[in-house]
Amino acid sequence: MRYETIVGLEIHVELSTETKAFCSCKNSFGDEPNTNVCPVCLALPGGLPVLNRNVINYTIMAGTAFNCEIHNRSKFDRKNYFYPDLTKGFQITQNDEPICTDGYLEIETEKGLKKIGLFQIQMEEDTAKSLHTESDETLMDYNRCGVPLIEIVTKPDMSSGKEARDFLEKLKATLRFLDISDCKMEEGSLRCDVNINVKDTETGKKTKVTEVKNLNSFRGVEKAIDFETQRHIKLLENNEDEIKTTRRWDDAKNETILMRVKYTANDYRFAPEGDLPPLNLSDEEIQEVVNNMPELPDAMVVRFVNDYNITNEDAKVLVSSRELANFFECMAKEFDDYTMLSNWIQTEILRRVEISDDEKFELPFENKEFVELLNSIKSSKISNNAGKKVLREMFETNDSVKEIIDRLGLVQISDESAIEAIVDEVLAENEQSVIDYKDGKDRALGFLVGQVMKKSKGKANPQMANELLVKKMS
């Protein structure tokens, strides 16, 4: 392929600490505007920042999960710029000495695993939120000011919109498993900017990097990258040069819109944060955080395959959500046919239950009822198809498995003599099918089993019916 797409991401993730990064104000989304504020986050005279210990711990967990080097020494800096949402006139961040560097996250591609490198993960604070009214007023809600963030800066290792989306999906799942962020893009707790340019592999010429903002979904990230790829290719084909720009994604038009041209580099006049000393962590402090980390998705997939003897593909589905994985493990303690359990969760439960953005996974009946249903199928009390009917009723009513089976008359006939009598009737009524079976037409056997099930109103044990038919026709 002549053109190579080069993509890097800058991802801001709000941490789910109880309080803000440098003060004791509540870290909570959706509260009454300007109620979670204090002299520190409002930058009133005399307010001094005090670093939240959990911000350090959460960042160490993220850095470990993404294979970073965790540094014993890091420092905070002041990023100076003016904007109404920045009360101090600067943002407390980490610039040249962040806590985590040189990490990576692997994603699956058509060519196998691909390693996406990370330059660094840094701690910083969020800004306030601007609210624009219909009367052209801008109101400021400072509740978000000082909320702890980590900024994850990737290397330009992605080469398509799909790769970027897959990377973000895996990154989000990992952060959710760690329980350090809810990663809700609609609430701004996960925000992503895209840096993209295209290289002509024959001439070596590259377009200038474009930054794309205002991306509020992973699908939007993918579409924006695909759009910009084609736009940059046209620039190369037309031998046009473009000054480095910042654009925004317009969901309605499905295209990027020019926001501003970058004639010069940003000058944030970084300087060490004088009110916060350098952060010095011992190896023991770092290791203690690592030792108490929750199990990560990739490790859980491997454990599910080994402990429950299910396929790698099934394990990945079950581990796609922390709550779903917990549900499977909870059920596995009560029902030891793990393959059957996995299949029913994937085919019948997930078809009816949507995992919410906050990872809640709730059934309208108790877990013990689901175990009762599986046991009824496993013991041949009811057929597999009857089990699906029961499950549908369980979702629609509050009846127990036993009540539904009795009410619908779904108990399976497993008495050999009773099934044999039905088999004899079917064979007598379908002589041609018997001849076809003896002539090697296997499809005839399926037809005869179907006739037995029809006569028994679906209650005959299909395996016993099959065996009796074969025995009698032989």
Give tens-digit pLDDT for 13-23: 999 999 999 99
pTM of the entire predicted model = 0.85
Distance of alpha carbon 131 from alpha carbon 135, whole angstroms: 11
Which distant-in-sequence residues (6+ apart) come within 8 Å of 207 by Cβ? 197, 198, 199, 232, 235, 236, 242
Please say if the pLDDT value at position 415 is more than 70. Answer: no
Rounded-to-integer distance, Cα 4 and Cα 198, Å: 6
CA distances from 75 to 53, 271, 305, 358 (A): 14, 11, 42, 33
Higher pLDDT, 63 or 81: 63
Structure confidence at residue 276 (pLDDT): 96
Residue whose pair of structure tokens reads 């890091």 in the numeric block: 74
The DSSP result for 8-67, as a single string, is EEEEEEE---SB-SSSSSB--TTPSTT-S--TTTTT-TT------HHHHHHHHHHHHHTT
pLDDT, position 326 = 92
Instruction: Name the more confident of 267 and 108.
Output: 108
Classify residue 112 as left (phi > 0), alpha (psi -120 to 50) or beta. Answer: left
Q: How would residue 372 be classed by pLDDT, with cut points 50, 70 and 90? A: very high
**Structure tokens that stand for 375 in this block:** 């046991």
For 330-345, give one letter per residue: b (16+ CB within 10 A) or e. ebbeebeebeebbebb
Cβ atoms within 10 Å of 244's Cβ, excluding its own: 16
Q: What is the mean pLDDT of residues 407-422?
A: 72
Residues forming a β-bridge with 210: 196, 245
Cβ neighbors of 369 (< 8 A, separation 6 or more) are 394, 400, 401
Q: Read off the pLDDT of each residue in 268-278 and give the average, rounded to a whole number.
A: 94
Higher-confidence position of 214 and 165: 165
Token pair recorded at residue 187: 């609430």
Query: Are the C-beta atoms of residues 324 and 361 closer than 8 Å to each other?
Result: yes
**Alpha carbons within 13 A on the beta-carbon side of 144:** 18
Averaged pLDDT score across all residues of the chain: 90
pLDDT > 90? residue 273? yes
Residue carrying the six token digits 């689901």: 370
pLDDT at 430 over 70: yes
Domains of the chain: 3-283 (no CATH), 294-408 (no CATH), 416-473 (1.10.10.410)
- 20 and 41 Cβ atoms separated by less than 8 Å: yes
Nearest to 196 by CA among 238, 150, 235: 235
pLDDT, residue 469, reads 77
pLDDT at 455 over 80: no
Q: Please answer whether residues 85 and 127 qualify as being in contact, where contact means their C-beta atoms are separated by less than 8 angstroms.
A: yes
Report the alpha-carbon distance of residue 154 to residue 326 in Å, rounded: 31
pLDDT of residue 301: 95
Q: pLDDT at position 421, please?
A: 76
Specify the amino acid at residue 44.
L
Instruction: Give the pLDDT band (50/70/90) at residue 305.
Output: very high
Q: Which of 52-66, 113-127, 184-198 has the lowest mean pLDDT?
A: 184-198
**pLDDT tens digits, residue range 319-365?**
988 899 999 999 999 999 999 999 999 999 999 887 765 667 788 99
List residues bridging with 154 in a β-sheet. 118
pLDDT in tens, 101-116: 999 999 999 889 999 9
Average pLDDT over residues 277-298: 96
Query: Is the separation of the CB atoms in 270 and 79 below 8 Å?
Result: yes
